[in-house]
Chains A and B, each alone.
Chain A
Amino acid sequence: GIQVEQSPPDLILQEGANSTLRCNFSDSVNNLQWFHQNPWGQLINLFYIPSGTKQNGRLSATTVATERYSLLYISSSQTTDSGVYFCARSQGNLIFGKGTKLSVKP
């Protein structure tokens, strides 16, 4: 079946540091999304990015569909960035990776 793999599974950062989260997928992607799940469980849409690069403030994402991966960059991390980051590939329904748990320490 379709596979979505995320790395690293866990990441601990000092406030102000930068980080890169990776998402590999096993087949050609129609749609790819990045989400941040906050401590209350809410999934916050970060990027809808089937290909190319997008930026939103301190966050940016790049998807290289031909090489089947996507990257999420977080710059100047803040404690409020803590949580779990999911990428999900869409073909109708979303198929999720296992997530990267990010902890940003003050």
Chain B
Amino acid sequence: GAVVSQHPSWVICKSGTSVKIECRSLDFQATTMFWYRQFPKQSLMLMATSNEGSKATYEQGVEKDKFLINHASLTLSTLTVTSAHPEDSSFYICSARDHRANTEAFFGQGTRLTVV
């Protein structure tokens, strides 16, 4: 299947700093990528839809100034958690599908963020 690479796999940062997470589609192009957040023992919740060359679409309740999304190319989307606080600690995971066909989505490895 298609490969989506997410980096870093885990990160520990201090409160008040910013953290950037990258999501790359390695063998296909994606005009749209999706960012999810998962709390312990819960399901995945969509945070935002990343659109190549335009602004991201955020789900209700997700602060766009806190979670900055950039989709500068057809193979890369980034999520920056700005001014991180301990409550931002979570598992973040991205997904993408080949833009040529509305078929299955593939996920990155996920990033476990811990803010201390």
Contact = CB atoms under 8 A, between A and B. Distances in A.
B28 interface: no
27 contacts: A31-B103, A31-B104, A40-B110, A41-B38, A41-B109, A41-B110, A42-B107, A42-B109, A42-B110, A43-B93, A45-B1, A45-B104, A45-B106, A45-B107, A48-B103, A88-B44, A90-B105, A92-B32, A93-B34, A93-B49, A94-B34, A94-B46, A94-B105, A96-B43, A97-B43, A98-B43, A99-B43
Given A41-B91, A86-B43, A96-B43, A33 B107 contact: no
Interface in A69-104: 86, 88, 90, 92-99
B102 A93 contact: no
Interface of B: 1, 32, 34, 38, 42-46, 49, 91, 93, 95, 102-107, 109-110, 112
A43 B49 contact: no
Interface of A: 30-31, 33, 35, 40-43, 45, 48, 86, 88, 90, 92-99
A20 to B, nearest CB: 20
Contact of A48 (B34, B42, B43, B104): B104
Nearest to B2: A45
A7 to B, nearest CB: 14
Nearest to A43: B107
Contacts of B109: 40-42
